[in-house]
Amino acid sequence: MQRRQATLKEKLSEHYRKRDFKAKKQTASTAGIVFFLGMLFTLVLEGLVVLLPNHFMTEDGEIGPGYRWAQLFCVWLFLETALNWYNTYYDIANRVTKEMKSNYYPVSSETPPGWKNCPTCMMDAPPRSYHCTLCNHCILKRDQHCFVTGSCVGYHNQRTFVVFCIYVLISTVYAAYLQFSYLNKMLPFTSHWASFYFPLTGLWQYLIGAVSFMQIFILIHLCCTLVSLGLSAFFLFWQMVVISRGQTSFEAWKQIMIYRRRAVLDNFRDVFGDLLTFLLCLVVPLRMHLPGDGVKWVIEPKAEKGH
């Protein structure tokens, strides 16, 4: 007897039946959060207690001009980075709820056009939202899961995530400059001390007693600062690319272009609001009004997949 071929619907339901619906462990997110918070607090302490006094110390042992401004700048960078991190981390507004559908389709029990049914959350989710197996929620306009904040970047926190990347970038550039000038003062890079700047040989020089604990500590810290600098520059650049194209990272990967707006400025407005709101967000780390609600999306008439 010939076996009947399973239909697509049957294959899909079989796939969902076998799927593990349990939330995945957030081990990478925990490691990312610990690394970030460790770097944040050690950098501000190192900056205020060791690097800035050393940087502004003149040859006669006096503190030079601009020291207090530099201290204020450090504290301001610390507060902005920490508060924008918190605003990205605290992403409850991004979670898809049952009310979102009932607000637009109060009587329909069917999945509306463009929406999808999430078998894990057991509810209909709006266009552009996707289920995150780490957060275990459907996230509005899901862009990516951020391991440094341990939460998804989506409709309501993409702006704070970008501002967070900007502050991490400024902070790490300034910190790397101070760390390098601290080391360069005592162990000039252009002398026979150049080998110290490679972490392994630096560590060897510490073990044989040629350099102090503070010097090797700042060298390792400088390496971690440079890694953070590279990551923040990469994510900031990538966010600018996808936002200007009116896509999320997921849509860029899948080449989905139906939600992009024709003008680049409109794509930026969808994420950042108007210019004044964005400039305010850059200075004041508050959650401010966004132009839409992340649920309703207009498909541009001429936008087609792959164009």
Residues that bind Zn ion (CB under 5 A): 118, 120-121, 131-132, 134-135, 138, 145, 152
CB of 147 to Zn ion, least distance (A): 9
CB of 91 to Zn ion, least distance (A): 8
Q: Which residue's CB is nearer to Zn ion, number 84 or number 144?
A: 144
**CA 221, CA 134: separation in Å to the nearest integer?**
30
**CA 75, CA 85: separation in Å to the nearest integer?**
15
- SS3 labels along 135-174: CCEEECCCCEEECCCCEEECCCCHHHHHHHHHHHHHHHHH
Pair of tokens at residue 251 = 């849509």
CB of 8 to Zn ion, least distance (A): 21
Q: Which residue's CB is nearer to Zn ion, number 120 or number 249?
A: 120
**CA 112, CA 17: separation in Å to the nearest integer?**
23
Q: Which residue's CB is nearer to Zn ion, number 4 or number 17?
A: 17
CB of 145 to Zn ion, least distance (A): 4
CB of 274 to Zn ion, least distance (A): 29
- Neighbouring-strand partners of residue 117: 124
Which amino acid would we find at residue 241?
V
CB of 250 to Zn ion, least distance (A): 12
Contact 300, 263 (CB under 8 A): no
Q: Which residue's CB is nearer to Zn ion, number 21 or number 189?
A: 21
Q: Which residue's CB is nearer to Zn ion, number 254 or number 262?
A: 254
CB of 104 to Zn ion, least distance (A): 18
**CA 258, CA 302: separation in Å to the nearest integer?**
8
Quote the DSSP letter at residue 24. Answer: P
Q: Which residue's CB is nearer to Zn ion, number 135 or number 290?
A: 135
List, in sequence order, the alpha helices (H) in the chain: 8-18, 27-46, 52-56, 67-89, 98-104, 158-186, 199-207, 213-244, 249-254, 264-272, 275-283
Q: Which residue's CB is nearer to Zn ion, number 46 or number 91?
A: 91
CB of 144 to Zn ion, least distance (A): 8
Contact 29, 134 (CB under 8 A): yes
Q: Which residue's CB is nearer to Zn ion, number 98 or number 185?
A: 98
Contacts (Cβ under 8 Å, ≥6 apart) of 127: 114, 115, 259, 297
**Other beta carbons less than 10 A from residue 81's beta carbon:** 27
